[in-house]
Chain A
Amino acid sequence: MKLTYSIPSMDFSAAGKASTDVKKTLAQLGLDRDLVKRIAVAMYEGEMNIAIHGGGGTAEIEFSPDRIDILLVDRGPGIADIALAMTEGFSTASEEVRSMGFGAGMGLPNMKRNADEMTVESRVGEGTSVRMRFLLGAARCA
């Protein structure tokens, strides 16, 4: 099963809507609560990234019996140095965005910490796509 959401740019009143909906489905599937929490946090961070930095985009969540894959695609400026963007505390967010409590530079690192696998692809001027995979039933190292 695949769920697709369109995420508008800079719409803070709608922000988090996709994550909330996905959480509902996760609850219906009866997944382990720690896994639900990891997916919720990563999904929310990704959704906010698209809204704040990405100029809007889409989130696709694909449910399989053994895993959940999340693909986040935006039409934003792209990331020049992905390794730098993965550093905790690094952020290109504007003062305005920071004043609203976002843009602390924890988004991508937080997503990576919560996902079992994550890859980031980006082209400057074209946009960024993030793939996250969550394995069901797999034991996770501390």
Chain B
Amino acid sequence: MSGTVFHSVYLDAGRCVGCTTCVRRCPTEAIRVRDGVAHITEERCIDCGECIRACPKGAKKSVSDPLVLMDGYDIRVALPAPSFYGQFGMDSPPRRVFDALRAIGFDEVFDVAWGAKVLTDAISAFGRGEVARPLVSSACPVVVRLIQLRFPSLIENLVPFLPPVEVAARELRARLAADPSAAGHRVGTFFISPCTSKVTAIKAPLGYADSQVDAVFSFQDIYAPVRKALKTTPRQARPGEPALPRIGGLGSGFGWARSDGELEALEIPGAVSVDGIENVIALLEAIDNGKLADIPYIEALACPGGCVGGPMAVENPHVARTTMKAITRAEYGAAEAATPGAEAGGANASKDLRWEAEVLPRPAMVLDRDMGRALAMAERLETIAASLPGLDCGACGAPDCRALAEDVVKGCAKVDDCIVRIREMSARAPSTPGETPKI
């Protein structure tokens, strides 16, 4: 599997100084520093972007698609994530951003918030049925991957629905397919995302086979051109009305951009929202212990503050969150009746929003596929861990002493990588200078 899995998060080795900051922040223990440079274990990476936030040298980066990919299509449709509007402040409301996107080369804009709104209704109905409790939202792909990797028994708690962007992309393709003026043209769909994990989710979807999204542009790449266009573009400067008019009344869908927003849309009494990966892990741990079954629904977002805090966002997440609150309020019910096709679940909506493929556990923590060998390795691991100082200093390049013991057992590291242990041994053993004591 190694080398073939797409990941948005990658290391710029030239910038890495081997400081181990990212190693200790990684929620899946996927990073090790070896020979002075960080390495990411692909099987364990969930593209959460914690290492990007943590790296003091900017050596952890994300890859998204270059804007020039638009050139290959006749009708270019922008799919802005709800959080995109939070990047520009209230003096640039969604309709202005919409125009700016058209000014920089998109022919059409279709809000991912539409998908969120449609999903809100579908999830509400689903949650009233016989389902596992608590249900855990699958809107955040980091949470889905975290569950696959660290909490596989909670896969059954995940809301088995497509992500908002996919729902929106399918709908817009259906609408354009029904539009004679679009016939014979190549339609390109471009998701504008703050999220490394969602880049990965488009290339390697969770719960369905192929994405209807052609490329993912990061907030970072598109921010400057849109900002510039906001200053220079008068209202609706381009000739010709778009085939997909701006949809009003998506307030509840825009809410999904920030923590609490999905819950406010769903209105499930007693539902809990959690944001920030460490907080998410603590809550999943409690559910895994059989607790919290009386909570009906959990909105879990890996980034602090929700998607506005995404690793590829530009605006300060706290400011963006406040902006999104105001946008959510302003967009509630506005112009919905006046805009054809605006009602959630519109004419061409996909009938079924459910996952079409099984989401399976990712056993990336297993020591060996053979249980007997794994058991023997686990036993050695315990012995080695007990011989280590337990300071969890990270100087060996592993996140903590247990992880070093695990690496030793797997043949990826040596006990001598622990410099604290070597110091203790040499202090104790009466050795001649220059001679390393036997361990």
Contacts and interface: CB of A to CB of B under 8 A. Distances in A.
B290 A40 contact: yes
Nearest to A65: B372
A138 interface: no
B372 A37 contact: no
A41 interface: yes
Nearest to B291: A44
B267 interface: no
Given A40-B288, A41-B289, A41-B290, A27 B365 contact: yes
Nearest to B361: A33
Contact of B374 (A16, A24, A29, A64): A29
B367 to A, nearest CB: 5
Contacts of B296: none
A114 to B, nearest CB: 8
B379 A1 contact: yes
Nearest to A35: B153
A29 B289 contact: no
20 contacts: A1-B375, A16-B285, A16-B286, A23-B288, A27-B150, A27-B363, A27-B365, A28-B367, A28-B377, A29-B367, A29-B374, A30-B366, A33-B153, A34-B153, A36-B152, A40-B290, A44-B289, A44-B290, A63-B379, A64-B375
A124 interface: no
B152 A16 contact: no
Q: Give the size category of A's interface with B.
A: 20 to 34
A44 B379 CA distance: 22
A28 B402 CA distance: 12
B23 to A, nearest CB: 17
For the complex of A and B, list the 4 residue pairs with the smallest distance between their C-beta atoms, beginning with the closest: A37-B153, A30-B366, A41-B290, A1-B379
Interface string A60-94: 00011100000000000000000000000000000
A127 B333 CA distance: 63
Contacts of A23: 288
Interface residues of B, number: 28
Contacts, number: 68
Interface in A2-52: 3, 16, 19-20, 23-25, 27-31, 33-34, 36-37, 40-41, 44-45
Nearest to B150: A27
A28 B289 CA distance: 18
Interface of B: 150, 152-153, 155, 285-286, 288-291, 361, 363, 365-369, 371-372, 374-375, 377-379, 381-382, 402, 406
Contacts of A28: 365-367, 374, 377-378, 381, 406
Contacts of B150: 27
Contacts of A16: 285-286, 289
Given A28-B365, A29-B367, A30-B366, A40 B375 contact: no
B371 A36 contact: no
B288 A37 contact: yes
Contacts of A30: 363, 366-369, 371, 374
Interface of A: 1, 3, 16, 19-20, 23-25, 27-31, 33-34, 36-37, 40-41, 44-45, 63-65, 110, 136
Nearest to A28: B367
Q: What's the dominant secondary structure at chain A's contact region?
A: helix
A142 to B, nearest CB: 16
Contacts of B291: 44
B176 to A, nearest CB: 42
Contacts of B285: 16, 20
Nearest to A27: B365
A31 to B, nearest CB: 8
A111 to B, nearest CB: 10
A68 to B, nearest CB: 10
Contact of A29 (B288, B361, B375): B375
Nearest to B406: A28
Nearest to A106: B290
Contacts of B377: 28
Contacts of B367: 28-30
A63 B289 contact: no
B385 to A, nearest CB: 11
B398 to A, nearest CB: 14
B379 A29 contact: no
Contacts of A44: 289-291
B411 to A, nearest CB: 15
A25 to B, nearest CB: 6
Given A65-B372, A110-B290, A1 B382 contact: yes
Given A28-B367, A36-B152, 8 more contacts: A16-B286, A16-B289, A27-B365, A29-B375, A30-B363, A30-B371, A33-B153, A40-B288
